[in-house]
């Protein structure tokens, strides 16, 4: 089959998780890569373009999957793509050190009738482990072309591209394995009457999926086919006293082991260093202490290394704001427009950019821990504890990250497997007190509780943790009742992280943060600036400004909590932009400097209302950047709004409660 | 033995029971589909069963077994299972043949023979106990460092699918390598891969 050279070839990249698929994707697309992200609800699917000689190739990276039966979200994306979209060649990436389970996926691809090229990745590791693979036998058994690759070192990538382009132009051999006489016969009966669909698959594979009861495919066929499959299914399941899915899986593994016995030779059976490491990292007594130590180091490093960077950014923006102001005045632009640019845009965007060093460094740490395979062990270690709160072990890392910044925490929730777990983690996370809220507590505890500063701080943090746990427990109860996601998860062998991979991950996350969260912040800054400036002629951020009026309007809401002044209300509104802005805006609103605040605050707050104001600052609403992240990660405005409303209610209720109890205690 | 009923009527009762157990209300359409017959012939047979007081059916309503009907249906099924087990476990007949033969014999065999067969099978299986899997042992019962052969998965379908795809299939060897600090989840090795699995998921994996 010859193809028009100008037409692009579509290659879909499929494989088990942890097979180096992403590395291979990056190695293949190289420097010319253009990575586009689909904001999929759950998992992303990446696309890249390659120019190979005179051929244009579009490479689609599908989420890692173990099978194609589509019970989980990521498998659904992979399966639906393979069945619905046009791919010329499927590139199946396989971990050469663990070939058995990896070939299980290849088998299904071939059954589907996909023109497949097999990348035997991590060939170097396999060699080191003394694993010898008979490539010719694999090729012959599956009707594929297998190429040994080392994606991290770009070995074998050219051969892989050539093999893929060759495979495209060659006739695809039919492939089928036997499931025993009864099932085979049933499959051929179904194949005879199955109606034509648009699905890109062999009829026999579709028949098999129907027999297994795949509801997606059942929707596409007629009554007659359904009746027949149901009848055959019942007959077979009764006959073997087992369900079809098990029978199919067993037959496949049986077929695979017959090939593997001949094609794979292991010459080295000593305990690998990976197993030795696991004896330490997942040790019954030392496992958790070691984990805490590692987390502490990551935090410490993040904070120490980011502190000077944050300062530079802050100073940079202050300077930028100043010179812009001067420059604008010099060219005759002042008043409203210069205020918009310096007070609104530069100050607003600047306050968010100060998060950048922390985000980049935290994700650097996380991506290294992820690449080495340690993250899977953390999940393993913490699962029991997290389960008692209604969360999966995988939600632990986002929880810890929350103390640094809720934005990173919400973003890290994407590592969770099911949508339910992700949403629970995302809704609970904003209550974990992030570092941006610390300035508020420092200010108030310093002014009102100088003797018990540490204790009050600790209690505030504790309240945040309790509310996060309560929230995940509550939403688990009302939203996802009874839904528990399994934790059947691979613990991959430890590997050294590759610099390139780590860099790509960090850069990708930083970029997302900058573009998307940046636009939210920019918009919010302009709106808040406008509210503080309008109607024209009023003093910036005074009671007469729209912001002041809004503050006055909502202030009564807070009167039961003891801080019903328009300034407090306006400061909290400002605080949505970024939590530390509460402090700066209080200074503006009370017409003083930040240094002068401790002296002025007691005129507007009592000890009791200071306490309730801190509680409110902790709980009342995720900041704009976090809200942006929630919307992006959940893929819907709905959860963002729910998070806003829910935390506002929780904040109000608890701050009123704290205030009322405190005044009754005579504070 | 169900003397008063023809073989096909017994099959009807058995199918109604099957359908009811696999989910809720039984209708003529379901029954016709299951037995591969027309609705007309199913209706005719149902009238006969209703006349004998074995089923109840309101016009256009669902079909319900009476107490007597349920008894007969369960008996037919028990007979089938016993015969099937005898043919396969004792005589070593092929599964397909055994199933077909059991279907044919179940309608014509006397109560006395069935009772004797049940007693025989019981003692036969006790004698062969070493061959039979101990069904109470699950992956969660293994001790650290111990391994076993997977005998059966009894997990709900979604989880079962996942377990199967991860290589936890009948006949595979699974090794319990360790437990997390709080005793849960477990660290197991199967098909050359290390997996983490919770106790409450491991109990679905029956081990020999």
Question: pLDDT digits over A10-20, tens only?
Answer: 999 998 877 87
- Give CA–CA dist A429/B105, Å, rounded: 65
Question: pLDDT digits over A276-287, tens only?
Answer: 888 888 888 888
> Does pLDDT of A291 surpass 60?
yes
- Give CA–CA dist A76/A458, Å, rounded: 44
A46 min Cα distance to partner chain B (Å): 24
Average pLDDT in chain A? 82
Report CA A153 to chain centroid distance, whole Å.
27
Other C-beta atoms closer than 10 Å to the C-beta of B203 total 14
Question: pLDDT digits over A157-204, tens only?
Answer: 889 988 988 888 877 778 889 998 889 999 999 999 888 888 888 889
Residue linked to tokens 């969660």: B140
Closest by CA position to A133, among listed A267, A278, A274: A267
What is the phi/psi pair of residue A198, to 5°?
A: -90, 0
- Give CA–CA dist A187/A193, Å, rounded: 10
* A–B CB contacts, 8 A cutoff, strictly below: 128
- Give CA–CA dist B55/B49, Å, rounded: 6
H-type alpha helices, A576-636? 581-589, 597-604, 607-619, 624-634
Which pLDDT score, from 0 to 100, does residue A351 have?
64
Q: Does A288 touch chain B (CB under 8 A)?
A: yes
Closest by CA position to A344, among listed A544, A521, A572, A549: A521
A343 near A541, Cβ under 8 Å? no
- Testing the interface with A: which of B39, B186, B194, B197 to mutate, by most A Cβ within 10 A? B194
pLDDT cut 70: percent of chain A above it: 91
Question: pLDDT digits over A566-603, tens only?
Answer: 889 988 887 887 787 788 778 777 766 666 778 888 88
Other C-beta atoms closer than 10 Å to the C-beta of B163 total 26
Which pLDDT score, from 0 to 100, does residue A585 have?
76
B62 min Cα distance to partner chain A (Å): 20
DSSP A175: -
Q: Are strands B193-197 and A489-490 parallel, antiparallel or unpaired?
A: antiparallel
- Give CA–CA dist B148/B183, Å, rounded: 19
All CATH 2.30.30.90 domain ranges in chain B, comma separated: 139-207
Which pLDDT score, from 0 to 100, does residue B63 have?
84
The mean per-residue pLDDT over the stretch A372-389 comes to 83
* A 302-361 → B contacts, CB under 8 A: none
Give Rg (Cα) of chain B: 22
A480 near A5, Cβ under 8 Å? no
Closest by CA position to B8, among listed B49, B40, B39: B49
> Does pLDDT of A428 surpass 60?
yes
A147 near A120, Cβ under 8 Å? yes
Q: When comparing pLDDT for A174 and A141, which is higher?
A: A141
Which pLDDT score, from 0 to 100, does residue A617 have?
93
- Find, in chain A, the residue whose alpha carbon is nearest to that of B167: A101
Q: Does A98 touch chain B (CB under 8 A)?
A: yes
- Which positions in chain A touch B194 (Cβ < 8 Å)? 278, 490-493
H-type alpha helices, A479-545? 499-512, 518-533
Q: Does A383 touch chain B (CB under 8 A)?
A: yes
A477 near A441, Cβ under 8 Å? no
Report CA A632 to chain centroid distance, whole Å.
10
The mean per-residue pLDDT over the stretch A515-523 comes to 65
Six-digit token string for B51:
């006349």
* Percent helix, percent strand, percent coil in chain A, to nearest 5: 65, 5, 25
Which pLDDT score, from 0 to 100, does residue A659 have?
94
The mean per-residue pLDDT over the stretch A239-262 comes to 88
Which pLDDT score, from 0 to 100, does residue B127 have?
64
**Shortest CB distance from B187 goes to which of A285, A380, A387?**
A380
Which pLDDT score, from 0 to 100, does residue B2 have?
41
- Give CA–CA dist A57/A37, Å, rounded: 18
CB contact under 8 A, B196 and A493: no
CB contact under 8 A, A72 and B180: no
CB contact under 8 A, B36 and A493: no
Q: Are strands A9-15 and A89-95 parallel, antiparallel or unpaired?
A: parallel
- Testing the interface with B: which of A380, A388, A417, A420 to mutate, by most B Cβ within 10 A? A380
Closest by CA position to A579, among listed A374, A481, A438, A389: A438
The CATH H-level (homologous superfamily) assignment of domain B139-207 is: Ferrous iron transport protein A (FeoA) (2.30.30.90)
CB contact under 8 A, B198 and A487: yes
Q: Which residues contact A28 (CB under 8 A, 6 or more apart)?
A: A48, A50, A59, A157, A160, A161
CB contact under 8 A, A491 and B195: yes
pLDDT cut 90: percent of chain B above it: 4
Q: Report chain B's terminal Cα–Cα distance, integer Å.
A: 37
Which pLDDT score, from 0 to 100, does residue B130 have?
47
Which pLDDT score, from 0 to 100, does residue A648 have?
93
Report CA A86 to chain centroid distance, whole Å.
27
CB contact under 8 A, B159 and A104: no
Which pLDDT score, from 0 to 100, does residue B1 have?
40
The mean per-residue pLDDT over the stretch A622-629 comes to 87
- Find, in chain B, the residue whose alpha carbon is nearest to that of A257: B191
* A 19-78 → B contacts, CB under 8 A: 66-67, 69, 71-72
> Does pLDDT of A493 surpass 50?
yes
The mean per-residue pLDDT over the stretch A347-353 comes to 69
- Give CA–CA dist A24/A20, Å, rounded: 6
Dihedral of the CA atoms A354, A355, A358, A360 (nearest 10)?
Answer: -100
pLDDT under 50: residue ranges of chain B: 1-3, 130-133
Six-digit token string for A302:
């993040």
H-type alpha helices, chain B? 7-21, 28-35, 39-51, 67-85, 95-105, 111-127, 157-165, 199-202
- Which positions in chain A touch B100 (Cβ < 8 Å)? none
All CATH 1.10.10.10 domain ranges in chain B, comma separated: 1-130
pLDDT band at A352 (very low <50, low <70, confident <90, very high): low
A351 near A577, Cβ under 8 Å? yes
Q: Does A219 touch chain B (CB under 8 A)?
A: no
Which pLDDT score, from 0 to 100, does residue A311 have?
82
Q: Which helix (H) or strand (E) holds A226?
A: helix A223-240
Question: pLDDT digits over B83-134, tens only?
Answer: 888 888 888 888 888 888 888 888 778 877 888 888 788 777 766 554 444 5
pLDDT band at A430 (very low <50, low <70, confident <90, very high): very high
Which pLDDT score, from 0 to 100, does residue A593 have?
66
Which pLDDT score, from 0 to 100, does residue A512 have?
67
CB contact under 8 A, B194 and A239: no
CB contact under 8 A, B153 and A246: yes
Closest by CA position to A120, among listed A142, A103, A104, A140: A103
Residue linked to tokens 């340690």: A374
- Give CA–CA dist A51/A438, Å, rounded: 51
Q: Does A376 touch chain B (CB under 8 A)?
A: yes
Distances (CA, A) of A17 to A131, A489, A580, A650: 21, 10, 40, 39
**Shortest CB distance from A491 goes to which of B99, B179, B196?**
B196
- Give CA–CA dist A64/A87, Å, rounded: 17
User: Which pairs count as long-range contacts for A24-30, CB under 8 Å and 24+ apart, including other chains?
Assistant: A24/A93, A24/A119, A24/A121, A24/A149, A24/A151, A24/A157, A24/A160, A25/A59, A25/A61, A26/A151, A26/A500, A26/A501, A26/A504, A27/A151, A27/A152, A27/A154, A27/A157, A28/A59, A28/A157, A28/A160, A28/A161, A29/A59
Which pLDDT score, from 0 to 100, does residue A483 have?
61
A563 near A609, Cβ under 8 Å? yes
CB contact under 8 A, B164 and A245: yes
Q: Which residues contact A504 (CB under 8 A, 6 or more apart)?
A: A22, A26
> Does pLDDT of A389 surpass 80?
no
3-state DSSP assignment of residue B194: strand
The domains found in chain A, sorted by start residue, are 9-169 (3.40.50.300), 181-266 (1.10.287.1770), 287-436+482-522 (no CATH)
CB contact under 8 A, A380 and B153: no
Q: Are strands B173-179 and B186-190 parallel, antiparallel or unpaired?
A: antiparallel
Quick check: ipTM above 0.95? no
Domain B1-130 has what CATH class? mainly alpha
- Give CA–CA dist A95/A274, Å, rounded: 16
Six-digit token string for B191:
């098909």
Residue linked to tokens 């006055």: A552
Which pLDDT score, from 0 to 100, does residue A270 have?
62
**Shortest CB distance from B161 goes to which of A71, A278, A487?**
A71
- Testing the interface with B: which of A66, A216, A249 to mutate, by most B Cβ within 10 A? A249
CB contact under 8 A, A487 and B185: yes
């Amino acid at each position: 089959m010859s193809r028009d050279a100008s037409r692009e070839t579509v290659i879909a990249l499929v494989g088990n998780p942890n097979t180096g698929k992403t590395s291979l994707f990056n190695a293949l697309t190289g420097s010319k890569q253009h990575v586009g992200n689909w904001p999929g609800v759950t998992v992303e699917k990446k696309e890249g373009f390659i120019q190979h000689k005179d051929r244009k190739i579009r490479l689609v990276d599908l989420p890692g999957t173990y099978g194609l039966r589509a019970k989980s979200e990521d498998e659904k994306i992979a399966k639906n793509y393979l069945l619905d979209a046009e791919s010329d060649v499927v590139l199946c990436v396989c971990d050469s050190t663990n070939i058995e389970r990896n070939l299980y996926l290849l088998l299904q691809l071939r059954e589907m009738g996909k023109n497949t090229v097999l990348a035997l990745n991590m060939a170097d590791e396999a060699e080191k482990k003394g694993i010898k693979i008979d490539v010719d036998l694999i090729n012959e058994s599956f009707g594929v072309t297998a190429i040994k690759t080392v994606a991290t070192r770009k070995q074998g990538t050219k051969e892989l591209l050539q093999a893929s382009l060759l495979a495209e132009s060659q006739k695809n051999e039919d492939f089928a394995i036997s499931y025993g006489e009864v099932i085979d016969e049933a499959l051929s009966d179904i194949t005879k009457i199955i109606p034509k669909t648009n699905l890109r698959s062999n009829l026999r594979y579709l028949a098999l999926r129907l027999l297994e009861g795949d509801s997606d495919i059942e929707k596409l066929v007629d009554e007659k086919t359904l009746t027949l499959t149901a009848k055959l299914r019942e007959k077979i399941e009764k006959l073997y006293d087992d369900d079809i899915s098990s029978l199919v899986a067993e037959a496949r593994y049986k077929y695979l082991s017959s090939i593997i016995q001949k094609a794979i030779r292991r010459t080295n059976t000593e305990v690998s260093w990976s197993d030795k490491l696991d004896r330490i990292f997942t040790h019954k007594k030392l496992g958790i202490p070691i984990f805490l130590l590692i987390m502490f180091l990551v935090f410490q490093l993040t904070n120490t290394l980011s502190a000077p960077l944050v300062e530079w950014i802050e100073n940079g923006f202050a300077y930028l704001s100043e010179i812009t102001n001067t420059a604008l005045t010099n060219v005759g632009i002042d008043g409203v427009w210069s205020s918009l640019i310096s007070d609104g845009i530069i100050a607003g965007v600047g306050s968010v950019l100060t998060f950048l060093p922390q985000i980049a460094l935290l994700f650097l740490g996380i991506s290294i821990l992820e690449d080495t395979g340690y993250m899977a062990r953390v999940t393993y270690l913490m699962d029991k504890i997290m389960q008692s709160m209604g969360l999966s072990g995988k939600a632990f890392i986002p929880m810890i990250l929350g103390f640094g910044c809720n934005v990173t925490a919400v973003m890290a929730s994407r590592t969770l497997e099911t949508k339910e777990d992700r949403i629970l983690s995302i809704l609970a996370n904003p209550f974990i007190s992030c570092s941006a809220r610390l300035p508020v507590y420092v200010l108030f505890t310093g002014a009102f509780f100088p003797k018990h500063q540490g204790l009050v701080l600790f209690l505030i943090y504790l309240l945040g943790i309790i509310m996060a746990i309560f929230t995940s427990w509550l939403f688990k109860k009302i939203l996802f009742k009874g839904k528990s996601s399994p934790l059947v998860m691979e613990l991959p062998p430890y590997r050294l992280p590759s610099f390139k991979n780590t860099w790509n991950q960090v850069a990708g996350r930083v970029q997302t943060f900058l573009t998307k969260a940046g636009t939210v912040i920019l918009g919010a800054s302009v709106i808040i600036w406008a509210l503080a400036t309008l109607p024209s002629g009023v003093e910036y951020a005074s009671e007469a400004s729209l912001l002041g009026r809004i503050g006055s309007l909502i202030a009564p809401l807070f009167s039961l909590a003891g801080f019903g002044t328009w300034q407090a209300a306006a400061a909290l509104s400002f605080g949505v932009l970024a939590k530390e802005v509460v402090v700066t805006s209080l200074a503006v609103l009370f017409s003083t400097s930040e240094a002068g605040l401790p002296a002025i605050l007691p005129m507007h707050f009592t000890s009791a209302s200071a306490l309730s104001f801190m509680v409110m600052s902790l709980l009342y609403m995720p900041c704009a950047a976090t809200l942006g992240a929630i919307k992006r990660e959940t893929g819907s405005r709905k959860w963002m709004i729910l998070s806003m409303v829910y935390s506002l209610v929780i904040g109000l209720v608890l701050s009123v409660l704290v205030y009322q109890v405190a005044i009754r205690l005579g504070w | 033995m169900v003397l008063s009923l023809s073989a096909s009527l017994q099959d009807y009762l058995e199918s109604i029971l099957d359908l009811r157990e696999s989910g809720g209300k039984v209708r003529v359409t379901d029954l016709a589909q299951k037995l591969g017959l027309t609705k007309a012939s199913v209706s005719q047979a149902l009238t006969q069963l209703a006349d004998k007081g074995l089923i109840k059916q309101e016009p256009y309503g669902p079909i319900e077994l009476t107490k007597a009907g349920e008894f007969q249906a369960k008996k037919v099924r028990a007979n089938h299972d016993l015969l099937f087990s005898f043919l396969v476990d004792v005589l070593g007949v092929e599964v397909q043949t055994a199933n077909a033969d059991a279907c044919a014999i179940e309608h014509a065999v006397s109560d006395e023979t069935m009772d004797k067969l049940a007693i025989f099978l019981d003692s036969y299986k006790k004698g062969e106990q070493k061959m039979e899997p101990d069904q109470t042992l699950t992956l969660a019962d293994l001790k650290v460092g111990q391994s076993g052969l997977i005998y059966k998965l009894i997990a709900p379908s979604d989880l079962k699918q996942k377990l199967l795809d991860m290589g936890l299939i009948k006949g595979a060897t699974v090794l319990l390598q360790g437990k997390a600090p709080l005793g849960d989840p477990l660290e197991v090795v199967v098909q050359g891969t290390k997996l983490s699995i919770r106790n409450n998921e491991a109990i679905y994996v029956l081990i020999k």
